[in-house]
Structure 1
Amino acid sequence: MELAEVPTARPGQVVVRTTLFALDAAARLFLGDVGLPLPRLAPGDVVPGAALGEVVASTDPDFAVGDEVCHQLGWREFAVADAAALRRVDTAVLPSPTAYLAPLLTAWAGLVVAGELRPGDTVFVSGAAGAVGGLAGQIARLRGAGRVIGSAGSPAKVAHVTGTLGFDAAFDHRDGPVLERLGALAPDGIDVYFDNTGGAQLAAAVRLLRPHGRAVLCGLLDRQNGPRPGRADGEEATLDLGYAIANRLTLRGLRTADFADRRAEAEQEIGPWLAAGRLRLDETIVDGIENAPHAFVDLLRGAFTGRVLVRVVGQPDDKADLSPRDE
């Protein structure tokens, strides 16, 4: 952890004291070479991600001291940002402040827009015990999917996915070839695949997608620590695009930023589900910013279900002079 002075706010900027920030497994893709054309974080860079905090100084009329806000400036105790980079937390829109840290737009846009989810569809979600996967399966169910199937990495997570999150069925992807396990739960095939893993699960799903099926490519958990083969003996991890051609499949990459203009629409639908208790925010809170690296490693190892949040604690009030600079 690096310590530095907190800059004061210039005109149009706001200083935010972080209370919670989210850990995102996808950040691993920017921390080393995983064979993808993505920018890499340099030593000293702040790991990005969603965060909640309280305004402690402001030179912008839209934000006052004491306002609760969210931003994407990641792992830090204080953030200094242009006002345009902040969103005010409004519990009339999303009833829980931590909902602003949840990947709601990712899950919603992946299903509704990229996946073109239709009532009655059979949906398969890999990484279903994770932050995105758990929400995607719940949203699919709430939007009228006929059957929602998930995969997870342990019997306990499988039980969580079906018992707590309400999936119709789930399987342990480590317990035998994925093609066999998924095929047994979806003997007539699937219509939508929400892919958080890549690898063998993507290869199996493409084989089982019905004609005109849709695969939403959201995550790469199977290679976040570098490429690796399928786990089960004889399991095929190579994607056979012949199935995509024969069945006229749609495979679409998902980047949440592409759907920023749909955020209000997504939150308008999701907010009432949260308020009524129909959609669950699956969260684990770790105390102390100093524990974030260890928790991040544990996240990559599959130690958690749902979203992992770090609560920043132990910040003295006199840590920095936060008054605006005279210009």
Structure 2
Amino acid sequence: MAYIEKTYGLTTIPDTNVDVLPADQELTTDIPLDTTYIDLIHLKIGSLENLRLERFTQLESINLRDNLIVRLNALKHIDPQCKLRIKELDFYDNRIKHISSHVNEFTNLEILDLSFNNIKHIKHVENLTRLENLYFVQNKISKIENLDRMTLLQNLELGGNRVETIENLDSLVSLRQLWLGQNRISRLEGLARLRNLRVLSIQSNRIEKIEGLDGLTALEELYLSNNRISKLEGLDALVNLQVLDVTSNAIAKLEGLDALTQLTDFWCSYNQVADYSNIHDALQHATSLETVYFEGNPIQLKDPTMYRTKLRLCFGDSLQKIDALYVSTGRMVGQ
């Protein structure tokens, strides 16, 4: 620094307002020992052990999002009775590579968030039979496993991993939401037993065919964008479906939609749809349709001037939005 100052005639001005983060062990010093929650976010915490969480015997929730934690072994020091009291563990966005065996000791846990870490294997969660929400978004997981006893689980998020096969979900009879976007899944399978499922997202995978959905009669939202689908099929059982997203696939013809009478949203941008009469015929039974997306299809690209007018003629008065624009005013959604 001295050389640079001398060479270029610069002067170093000390910063008197440096924001110095306290050491890990100091972060919990002023927290009351009878607190029911620990909430330490974005503090560059590197050591769970230094927080000495065992001092807090009334905890119900631990939130340590957005830190630098690598290991969870220090959870072993928490009082056994306190472990039974805790309902939520949140380690979103840290540097965790392995799920510690001590996570399995929090048997009344209802929420576990380990998203945005470096986890490769789902393990040491077998005893968490009361879990309702489980988040593993953006890790390095390649296999769905060890969830068999989670019969109360309602929401499972595994987006942004390396999963190739949908498997080992049969026992998740309470599951209402399943998020599997941005994985390496090539086939829709292993879903037949999920009869309470309301939301299924398998965006940005390698799906070529819509199949294996016959048991999902309660499904309300299905997201299949950014796959390799060329034909709409296998949807007849989805009589309660309200939202269908097939954006960015290879669909040239709309078909197989007659059973979707409850549909309110149909998103089909960036496909190969070129026929307005086909759109009308395929969606004529969806009398409650409110929103459609067809931008990026030949019908829009070849005649953008008349595109919206012709689309409106395909549907009844229920239609409110076309491609994020209100039908009546042309205002953007949200304005």
Give TM-score scaled by structure 1 length. 0.30
The structure whose residues are more often strand, as a share, is 1
TM-score (norm 2): 0.29
Question: Looking at CA atoms only, which structure, 1 or 2, has the larger radius of gyration?
Answer: 2
Larger helix proportion of the pair: 1
